[in-house]
Amino acid sequence: MSLAFTAWGTWKAAQVADDQLAQSKEQQVADDRKQAALINFWVEKDTTVIANRSLDPAAVWAAARSKTSPSDSPGFMYWVGMLPPCNRIEIPNEVLDDFFQSPLTDEPFRGPYSIARLDVADAKGRGWTRSVSGQLSASSAAMPAPSKVGDSALLSDPAVRVVDLETCGTPT
């Protein structure tokens, strides 16, 4: 009888250890995603908004896609800039159209343009991709260092407004 009780106790202890390991992994994923989860983008009327509700700056690139291109078109990547913490970036659609005019020619589709996705390098250097539908996923793509992308950041356009957010560190 005591052998059966010991076996049952060992089995239960192993179950508890497995549950704790699974919880630890889930917590690590949540911690890794914490900053990137607070960076999002959407369209309001004639303006594209990128919000960084995190307490840290983030390096951001945008995949531009012509609204007339096929939905599976990958678009081109453009350096948006270093998003300041706790800020809302308001980009008039005309600015996107001017900024995203591809110097790479051979692009058969022309504006108007939209942001198809954001690629984000968080404060710890991890890469993330935010889709236009809002889905966030880890990115394995190598992102260029911000110091190597030049001064042609979208944020440097004088028509782009940077507005302080009232709430920071939370998704809403």
Higher local confidence (pLDDT), 98 or 160: 160
> Among 8-17, 50-59, 79-88, 129-138, which stretch is predicted with the lowest mean pLDDT?
8-17
168: confidence class by pLDDT, cuts 50, 70, 90: confident
Indicate whether 144 pLDDT > 60. Answer: no
Q: b vs e for 138-171, b when ≥16 Cβ sit within 10 Å of the residue's Cβ?
A: ebeeebeebeebeeebbbeeeebeeeeeeeeeee
Coil vs helix vs strand at 164: strand
- Report pLDDT for 107: 53
Tell me how far apart the alpha carbons of residues 157 and 163 are, in angstroms, rounded to a whole number: 14
Interstrand relation of 47-52 and 39-44 (parallel, antiparallel or unpaired)? antiparallel
Which of 54-58, 63-67, 98-102, 127-131 has the weakest average pLDDT?
98-102
Task: Show the tokens assigned to 2.
Answer: 């005591």
E strand or H helix at 66: strand 58-66
